[in-house]
A and B are shown apart, each in its own frame.
Chain A
Amino acid sequence: MSWLTEFPAMDPDTLRELKKAIDSGFLQFSRTYGDAIEYAFEPVKFLLIHSERLLIETPWPIIVLAIAAIAWLASRSVKIVAGAVITLLLIGYFDMWEDTMKTVSMTFVCTLLSIVVGIPIGVAMSRSNRLQSLVTPILDVMQTMPSFVYLIPVVMLLGIGKVPGLLAVVIYAIPPIIRLTNLGIRLVDKDLLEAADAFGSSKWQKLRDVQMPLALPTIMAGINQTIMMALAMVVIASMIGVQGLGQQVLKSISNQYFTLGVFNGLAIVGIAIIFDRISQAYGRRMQKYQEAVHGL
């Protein structure tokens, strides 16, 4: 009756052998292909290094002005611009400027990569139900797997540093942009697609003139979520050597520096709010055409 009181688990030796086999197999894989994969990520690394250098080496007033300008162009709201400038000045005043710039740079590159990879996947998914049913469970795994877990294979493959960090962040942050691109395109009014067909649109013209522009507000919501998730993961990725605010948080956990942790945490909150407000305001502005203004 022992199988009732204790779950009939796999024999410990076999289990150990299994885990060992998978581990050594993956190790073998990373030894063989690690260099090649690292080489493949060379352009991304280049982008990472240069965007970070640009943000750090540019005098801070120019950065503040540039972010204010972006906020204004995207939102046309004095409130959002003022909020962004004050937050940045406070961050600088509490001596977290350089770490913040590193985090912003990392988030920026990760978001960019997520968009570049995610939107085409989302478009492809929207065109094929089979692909959708294939990709959706993968996205589910990517989003629910504890984020620490995929730090492990990434580190085994690429070691510690910016590039493995970026890979971990992108894996974590890419699902919303894929999902919402797919959803946005699928939600486009069938009547409009029929009209596009009736006027003889090619598939590409239909995508360019009708589907993408009308899905854009939904896609923007996806980008907004991707930015937020990238920011969250950039902090966790500090565990594998990603520099920035996250590293300070990590340091304050291991040394029980309460104030250091809170300051850096608040800086992360600050830039998260800036990113969120700017991207949301931009998304809203893109839908302005829907406002009915009769009798103009």
Chain B
Amino acid sequence: MASDVAIEVKNLYKIFGPNPQRGYERVRNGLDKEALLAESAHILGLNDVSLTIERGEIFVVMGLSGSGKSTLIRHFNRLIEPTAGSIIVDGVDVLALSYEDLQTLRRKKMSMVFQRFALLPHRTILRNVSYGLEIQGVATDERERRAAEWIEAVGLTGYENHYPAQLSGGMQQRVGLARALCTDPEILLMDEAFSALDPLIRSQMQDQLIELQARLKKTIVFITHDLDEALRLGDHIAILKDGVISQIGTPAEILLEPADAYVRAFVKDVNRARALTVETVMRPPELRLTDEDLEAALTEMKRTGATRGFLVDKQGYRGIVTRDAVDKAISKTPHPAISAIAEEGPSAPVGATIADALPGTLESDHPLAIVDKDGTLVGVVNRDRLGEILAPPDHEDESRTEPSRAAA
């Protein structure tokens, strides 16, 4: 339990067909999905997938249909047996588990939310939510009490005795979520859980998931074909294509440093201003001035060649001091305090999206300062950097987006 790794997958292969082992040999020798299909009618589901999912994070697996993402998630609880590879959940080799131990794992450690809800139509909402506990053999009173709590947590109180068909899609999926959470699993597998919902409801469900996750700190593996959803929810995102992982990274890494043409094509149409938060693109301030006297500030500016400095004191970020203002002030006697010549520049809190900070930044000549909740300056984003981030990545741009790695 001490480890921070919830799920570790190494060199996972899945080949569908009459003779997967032979197909596996062929894939090891370099055949890709299409070539394998043409040669032997075997379908390559997963090709050498390795990934690490940390405890308490939302890990998103993104890919188009047929990319193998649903196949991948079903390996974690062994609804699908791999052809080769290893799956370690909480330090336990899932592939070595006996049928009984696997059942225990599915009952207690992991639960699943499905794209098409998969609620039991003949059971009421209460009995659907308590289903997992019923399988475990928990007494009726106890499981109904716990189910009622989760029904409340997803906002469906009052619907306990309705049947799934009487609820809308969004409500049904909230039942699915409550059912999965009711067994108090450590790991939640969500297979395109919101894909069947219309956009408004989907966005509400995403909010609800983020809100629940802030409280619960589960490990969530979330499958989606929607990049916006992936960027919104994911702490890390794995992009899957034809059973191969194209890239694994944070949302900012995926957006700013797409690993290959496939990912690049994917992220091209994303509204980056909405998808990126300011701290993911900020850089260290060029010059940080503490509450010193003007001469010291001027010396620093001369030494670094900076045209402006960011004034910080014990209370945190105070504003921007330009070279011009320093020059002007130093000619006066007595010298005014440095805080008196600081100008107020645009600033944004950590967690704000670029879109939130953009209007203020455009109105001002100064760079955007990023402050945390204590008011401390944590970084800046200047206008050039903003332009660079908001421009969609092209092949030629690769060198330009490169430096962001250094900043991160």
Contact = CB atoms under 8 A, between A and B. Distances in A.
A161 to B, nearest CB: 43
Contacts of B189: 198
B118 A200 contact: no
A21 interface: no
Contact of A198 (B106, B122, B136): B106
Given A199-B132, A205-B135, A292-B165, A194 B120 contact: no
Contacts, number: 72
Interface in A174-204: 189, 191-192, 194-195, 197-202
Contact of A199 (B111, B162, B167): B111
Contact of B168 (A198, A201, A210, A294): A294
Interface string B75-114: 0010100000000000000000000001111111011101
Contact of A194 (B114, B132, B183): B114
Contact of B121 (A202, A290, A294): A290
A209 B134 contact: yes
B13 interface: no
B135 A194 contact: no
B232 to A, nearest CB: 25
B135 A214 contact: no
Nearest to A214: B122
Contact of B107 (A195, A200, A213, A292): A200
B307 interface: no
B163 interface: yes
Given A209-B120, A289-B122, A290-B121, A198 B165 contact: no
A296 B156 CA distance: 13
A198 B132 CA distance: 9
Interface in B167-205: 167-168, 183, 189
B264 interface: no
Contact of B135 (A189, A191, A199, A291): A199
B120 A199 contact: no
A289 B135 contact: no
Contacts of A199: 106-107, 111-112, 131-132, 135, 183
Contacts of A209: 120, 131, 134-135
Given A191-B118, A194-B114, A289 B163 contact: yes
20 contacts: A192-B120, A198-B110, A199-B106, A199-B107, A199-B131, A199-B135, A200-B103, A200-B108, A200-B132, A200-B135, A200-B136, A201-B135, A209-B135, A214-B120, A289-B121, A289-B163, A289-B164, A289-B165, A291-B165, A296-B162
